[in-house]
Amino acid sequence: MKITKRGVLSVLVVLAFAGMVFFFAGRQAAETGKRQELHQRSLFAMDTFFSLKVYGAEAEEGLKTCETKIKELEHCFSVTDPESEIAAANRMGGGQVSYDTYTCVEKALEIGTKTDGALDITLYPVLRAWGFTTGEYHVPEESEITELMQYVNAAGVGTTVNDGQYELILEEGMELDLGAVAKGYTGDCLVEILKQYKVSGGLLDLGGNIQFFGAKPDQTAWKIAVKDPFDVSRQIGILELRGEGAVVTSGNYERYFVDDAGVRYGHILDPETGRPVESDLASVTIVGGTGTESDGLSTALFVKGKEGAIRFWRKYRNFGMILVGQDGCVLVTEDLAPDFELNGDPGKIPQMEILYGA
Ligand code: AMP
Ligand code: MG
């Protein structure tokens, strides 16, 4: 066989081309592998455990930025840290605050108005009297509650923005607690951060507040357990959700104390009485578009009770809801029902009903 110069050249060109194809295919496979890798972070912050699970090429960098943001937000919202922004605002009757504190207060006030005052961030003086923010629980005298209730007035919180400076103005004696929305707001911030990195999806657990976005590499739905409020080691069922949103549950089973007479007092207060809510609900789970709104609504609708929560859902219908009654009944809104599977071993949960609009 005669080997010509042209023949050799052609073979070399073909080999070089094949090499390039292999090189780029290999790089792409490595990229895809990176995109599909699960990156995790667990940390303790805001008095609870955070577990962040994220997929994506730049997930590690994203998670590092999330950790920094969580610490920054803790410094904004913690009422028990005297150095925090909210603690300083409470001492000084307001003052200059960061964009995050300002925005979180604004959103909480909005949800308060929307829920006819069921969510009220000015309850802090009363919450403190019960010991709910410090863990030094006791039942205050009725006179003390009455005295402190004069400072509870969400309509009296002033918010202004001047030349890019954010400011809060609080009436005399008024103090704020963002505990009912802080984790939801934090979740929204983390999702925004992660989207700026090459993150294809994530499931963030902020002490039971769940945020999900994007997709898993195998494209299966996110599986999110809903706790049994009568026995938190169990679940009443599993939600299978896709896309982006938040799942937040509130109930008086989360934090409570029992007095010498055996009476149980939960950490969610009724802004009308300044006393723990005596709800016919054991828990409220909200599935909504954002963490802040879902967190705010789960607390507020727990205050409203079963009928109030149903009325509210029928009016807005832009979120899903799972109510567990004190009688053990589970009510699931019609939009969520196809994505919710009740636990096969129902324990105290006897049945599930679907809640339809109007
Ligand atoms: P969550 O766990 O989101 O339902 O929020 C409950 C926390 O919010 C409590 O531990 C209190 O710090 C605070 N809180 C209790 N009752 C209310 C209320 N009616 N409105 C706003 N914040 C509340
Ligand atoms: Mg809440």
Q: What is the pLDDT of residue 3?
A: 62
Q: What is the pLDDT of residue 156?
A: 95
Q: How confident is the model at residue 356 (pLDDT cuts 50, 70, 90)?
A: very high
Q: What is the pLDDT of residue 124?
A: 98
Span 270-296, average pLDDT? 97
Specify the residue with its C-alpha closest to ligand 1, atom 6.
Answer: 180
Q: Is the CB of 108 under 6 A from ligand 1?
A: no
Q: Is the CB of 298 under 6 A from ligand 1?
A: yes
Q: Determine which of 12-21, 83-92, 246-255, 342-351 has the lowest per-residue pLDDT on average.
A: 12-21
Gap from CA of 299 to ligand 1 centroid (Å): 6
pLDDT greater at residue 121 or residue 198: 121
pLDDT greater at residue 70 or residue 30: 70
Q: Which of 226, 221, 247 is nearest to 346 (CA)?
A: 226
Q: What is the pLDDT of residue 19?
A: 56
Mean residue pLDDT of the chain comes to: 92
Q: What is the pLDDT of residue 8?
A: 63
Span 324-347, average pLDDT? 89
Q: Are 300 and 116 in contact (CB under 8 A)?
A: no
Q: Any bridge partners for residue 226, and if so which?
A: 237
Q: Is the CB of 180 under 6 A from ligand 1?
A: yes
- pLDDT score of 11 more than 90: no
Mutate to test the pocket of ligand 1, among 48, 299, 302 (most ligand atoms within 8 A of CB): 299
Q: Determine which of 56-60, 82-86, 251-255 has the lowest per-residue pLDDT on average.
A: 251-255
Percent of the chain with pLDDT over 70: 88
- pLDDT score of 256 more than 70: yes
User: What long-range pairs does 91-99 form, CB within 8 A, spacing at least 24?
Assistant: 93/169, 93/170, 93/171, 93/172, 93/174, 94/158, 94/167, 94/168, 94/169, 94/170, 95/167, 95/168, 96/165, 96/166, 96/167, 97/166, 97/167, 97/168, 98/166, 99/166
Gap from CA of 183 to ligand 2 centroid (Å): 8
Gap from CA of 316 to ligand 1 centroid (Å): 22
Span 323-329, average pLDDT? 94
